[in-house]
Amino acid sequence: MQSVVPFRMCSRAPAPVYIVCLTLLVLLASPFWATLNAKSANDTPTPFTIDLTASSGDVAKAVNAVVQDAVIHGTQVYERESTLDGATQETASSYFGTYKGDGQVFYKLLRGALAPRHFKNSSDIGTIHIRYVVQTVSASRTHLEITAVFVEDGTSRIHASDTSVETAEFAEIQAHLVSIQREAQQTAEILQKRKLNAEAASITKERDDEAARLRDAEASLKGLQQRADELQRALEVRVANPSTALRSAPFHSAAALTTLTAGTTVLIEIVTEYWYGVETTDGHRGWLRRDEVEPTP
């Protein structure tokens, strides 16, 4: 409405005044076109996706822990500060809008970030939006998608991550997931041990069949130990080639955490189609291609 009145006034003015008025109107409209041009130059983020050998419940629990940690991993604002904290868990994101797909969705936002690192061409104050989508593939297989983007407050320009944020967030999720799976495994072992102890206690109370039942229990324990040894050997592999890079994420371009020599034994913790998430004997965790390892003798 404000632009209509000056236009009518200009239309009634003499020709020279009309030209001046028209020029002023074009100049007043220029910020609008500048905003449109800025928005047209937005980056389109590419999600980080991976299929994990874990239940969707365990993956969702690991994602939720990372969403609540108040840290945006894989980026920073100031060089002297290696972490970027102050993030909050949210139920929605103005950038991503309403999620209408399958599975569970989580959001982590950090407002007031100043030109955060690893977001392409970021140079202003804005909000970092991260969305995590957890989808069930099967009872023991889960699809995870992570998307990170920086949106400037003033111009609404969108800056996609160069994947550093997504892979760093995934590394944190992976660590939580390993912890969750180990805890579940330990609980199962404790329950199994209690069961065996109960059986042993019952055996000792019996008289006539005491010896036979004890031998059966010992045989059962020996079989369980043998099976445990077999499972342990199945999870242990060794590096096939010299100078093999242990990578931070299941990608050829991911950073190398360390270099492993041929014959180095590692423990498989996560299995994907082409990669193993492994732990070395000295506690390093990372990723190796499946064709970079071989069974232990």
Domains, the chain, with CATH or none: 4-40 (no CATH), 48-174 (3.30.310), 206-295 (2.30.30.40)
Q: Give the closest residue to 146 by CA, choosing from 160, 159, 162, 130.
A: 130
Is residue 154 within 8 Å of residue 124, measured between CB atoms?
Answer: yes
**Residue predicted with more confidence, 278 or 203:** 278
> DSSP assignment of 37-49, as one string?
HHHHT------EE
Distance between first and last Cα of the chain: 82
pLDDT in tens, 81-128: 888 999 999 999 999 999 999 999 999 999 999 999 999 999 899 999
> In the prediction, which pLDDT does 229 show?
62
Q: What sign does the CA torsion over 146, 152, 157, 162 have? A: negative
In the chain, the percentage of residues whose pLDDT exceeds 90 is 64
pTM above 0.75, yes or no: no
pLDDT (0 to 100) of residue 231: 64
What is the spatial distance between Cα 241 and Cα 151, in angstroms, rounded to a whole number? 44
How confident is the prediction for the chain on average, in pLDDT? 85
- Higher-pLDDT residue of 1, 253: 253
Residue 9 in this model has a pLDDT that exceeds 60: no
Could you read off the pLDDT of 142-200 as tens digits, one per residue? 999 999 999 999 999 999 999 999 999 999 999 999 999 999 888 888 888 888 888 88
What burial class does residue 133 get, using C-beta atoms within 10 Å of its C-beta: 0-12 exposed, 13-18 middle, 19+ buried? buried
What's residue 234's pLDDT?
Answer: 67
| Phi, psi of 86, rounded to the nearest 5 degrees | 100, 5
Query: Does pLDDT of 254 surpass 90?
Result: yes
Q: What is the pLDDT of residue 1?
A: 39
Cα distances (Å, whole numbers) of residue 123 to 12, 63, 204, 217:
45, 29, 75, 69
What is the spatial order of strands in the sheet that 293-295 belongs to?
256-260, 244-247, 285-289, 275-280, 265-271, 236-239, 293-295
How many Cα atoms occupy the beta-carbon half-sphere of 203 within 13 Å? 15
Residue 205: pLDDT band with limits 50, 70, 90: confident
pLDDT, one tens digit per residue, over 21-78 is 444 444 444 444 344 344 434 678 999 999 999 999 999 999 999 999 999 999 999 8
The pLDDT value recorded for residue 128 is 97
